[in-house]
Chain A
Amino acid sequence: MFLGIDIGSSSSKTVLIDREGAILGSEVVNIGTGTNGVDLALDRLLKKTNVQKERILYRVVTGYGRMTYQEADKQITEISCHAKGVAALYPKARTIVDIGGQDAKAIQLDANGAVENFIMNEKCAAGTGRFFEVMARVLNCNLEELANLAATTTEYVPISSICTVFAESEVISQLAGGASLAAVARGAHVSVAKRVCGLVKRIRVRPDVVMTGGVALNQAMANCLSQELELPVVVLESPQTVGALGAAIFAKECYEKKL
């Protein structure tokens, strides 16, 4: 068995694969680095798959919390792990858009699935999952409701502020001015899509485009991104665990190289 662990800023993910590379199971816990999220994600995974810890031959950790996690054999960046995971699940992918809790990145893949180039957001929460959390708080709903609201309309209130803090006050004044909740929710999605699109276009965008990360669970967001990029955007079945899957595949490769 090989274990991949992805410790993000707002969630912890684990994936277990066997010697043939088949996925045995995966787990997501919605608390990230600095919490016991990673232990929970591992315990639950082991229970679910009925695997003893001792049977894990190699483990690779990735994500924002990778540096401080002590129990892995190796740490690899989320850039390489996402590329690895996507290439395994969807070999036609040439561009990955990954939007997580606190960063957004675009990765360009070559025909072998190797990272050709990548770009990440600046030191700023605009265009990341955090932006949705702030918006949901303003609209007094949870993230799922925010996505559902956005899906009910194509009309939107444009949010011009790049800064998440200013966008919050902008939205409050829009609501005070009578804008509908749905139009504001849609506006938040369009705003993130535009911001991410600006980032993605700095590298060459080549189809197929695959979206990963927690924000990809939000179908309305994938649609907005597809509209902005003017390209179809593929969302994989379990977009949150792609990085952990990549880490697990690396674990298998590292182990085999060692033999």
Chain B
Amino acid sequence: MEKQSSKQMLNDILKRHYEDAQKAKAEGRPVVWSTSIAPQELLEAMDLTVVYPENHAAAIGARKDAPRFIENAESEGYSADICSYARVNMGYANIKHSDAADIPMPDLLFCCSNICYTAIKWYENLSKQLNVPLIMIDCPYNYSYSVTPAAVAYIKAQLLDAIGKLEEFTGRKMDWDRLREVMRISNETAMWWKKATDLAMAKPAPVSGFDLFNYMATIVCVRGKQEGTELFKRWYEELEERKAKGLGPWDNAEEKYRILWDGIACWPYLATTYKILKKNGINMVTSTYPESWTLLYELSDLAGMAKAYGSIYASLSMEYANDRIVTRARNFQIDGALFHSNRSCKGMDFKQYEFQRQLESELGIPSTIFDGDQTDPSVFSEAQYETRVQALVEMMEERKQREAMK
């Protein structure tokens, strides 16, 4: 039998992910709603069914179905300045249906504040409104270059506390051998995710970077499952094969420029943002966003895990993030950078002006910023995007020609 392609695996996994959640609910098993970069290891080890509202909101956004959920949340009194994932999800908690996908209502909420502090209030409000318990893991923002030992101890203590709460919620004891196994699988999945996405360092990159956005849904929802490991291993093998043949990202176009993408994807205009780049021969070879799921840690104890969750991209200091973006720019040999100034996520995007200055002064790499939103279609303007992308191409071309003249 022919091996299943990673694309087929991806689609099957996502379909099953949503179906399993519905089935669990129908059979009276509890469903957990979790933030996207939470220590899912604990939930998986407890054999709980988990869905991810951010994933779900992105799917709704990609279908351009977000406005009615947003309006619903705003009519409840939520400000238009709040993250639109939060507004879509709060609206969904009332409307309970989208053609994009459906998720069952939660019996337990699991929130890790490493992604942002809006998540704290979002989940607290859901807990109150839906009258379901909430387990909160608070990760302080790091003003220091790396996570301090105090923060690690603080997060580790909360992991232990969360285990106690999960035992109470399920009426079962944590199986520590199973937890170690899930931690091992999660690391292995993350490792294959990293290995696959790192293949884009090759010139030309054997992958069209927007595939990172497509595969992201699964790194969020099956990181702790064996099928996740297999999916990304398969993807890696496919890309390695392309690379060995010297193939670029596309069969019908050439990779002329390589760029870094910063910020969450502009889901309602995923195809538009992609096509305009491709039309200009631009391949997004790396991004600070999907990289957030490269969660690797020592398996020996919970402190390593605490440190990994406490040091994701969104919760690291300016200095660290700057170094990381410059290193990434070097490793992936980028010609330019494109910053999505996402109306919803200023916590991620406030660093962008400084990143622009760093890339320019350290590496002479030009960049541009465009406005958009992760789900709200009203923020993005195609003409503005196209002009900025085209101006970026003109700057990159000018520099290439100057280099060639040297």
Residues of A within 8 A of B (CB): 64, 67, 76-80, 103, 114-120, 122-123, 202, 204
Contacts and interface: CB of A to CB of B under 8 A. Distances in A.
B371 interface: yes
Given A80-B395, A103-B384, A117-B366, 9 more contacts: A77-B394, A79-B387, A79-B391, A114-B395, A114-B402, A119-B369, A123-B371, A202-B353, A204-B357
A83 to B, nearest CB: 9
A117 B360 contact: yes
Nearest to B367: A117
A123 B384 contact: yes
Interface in B357-406: 357, 360, 366-369, 371, 379-381, 383-384, 386-388, 390-391, 394-395, 398, 402
Given A123-B379, A123-B381, A80 B391 contact: yes
Interface residues of B, number: 23
Nearest to B369: A119
- Nearest first, the 7 closest Cβ-Cβ pairs linking A and B are A79-B391, A77-B391, A80-B394, A77-B390, A123-B381, A114-B398, A122-B371
A77 to B, nearest CB: 4
B366 A120 contact: no
B371 A118 contact: no
B287 interface: no
Contacts of B360: 116-117
A116 B394 contact: no
A115 B386 contact: no
18 contacts: A64-B387, A77-B391, A78-B387, A79-B387, A79-B394, A80-B391, A114-B395, A115-B395, A116-B360, A116-B395, A118-B391, A119-B369, A120-B384, A120-B388, A123-B371, A123-B384, A202-B353, A204-B357
B387 A77 contact: yes
B384 A76 contact: no
B142 interface: no
Contacts, number: 47
Contacts of B380: 123
B36 interface: no
A114 B388 CA distance: 16
Nearest to B381: A123
Nearest to B359: A117
B356 interface: yes
Nearest to A204: B357
Nearest to B394: A80
A204 B354 CA distance: 11
Contacts of A103: 384
B386 A67 contact: yes
B405 to A, nearest CB: 11
Contact of B368 (A64, A118, A122, A123): A118
Contact of A76 (B356, B369, B394): B394
A115 B379 contact: no
A215 to B, nearest CB: 19
A202 B379 CA distance: 21
B398 to A, nearest CB: 5
Contact of A115 (B383, B387, B388, B398): B398
Contacts of A67: 383, 386
Contacts of B353: 202
A117 B390 contact: no
Contacts of A77: 387, 390-391, 394
A197 B360 CA distance: 22
B387 A117 contact: no
B323 to A, nearest CB: 21
Contact of A64 (B356, B371, B383): B383
A120 B391 CA distance: 11
A119 B380 CA distance: 16
Nearest to A80: B394
A115 B381 contact: no
Contacts of A204: 357
B361 to A, nearest CB: 10
Contacts of A76: 390, 394
B355 to A, nearest CB: 12
Nearest to B379: A123
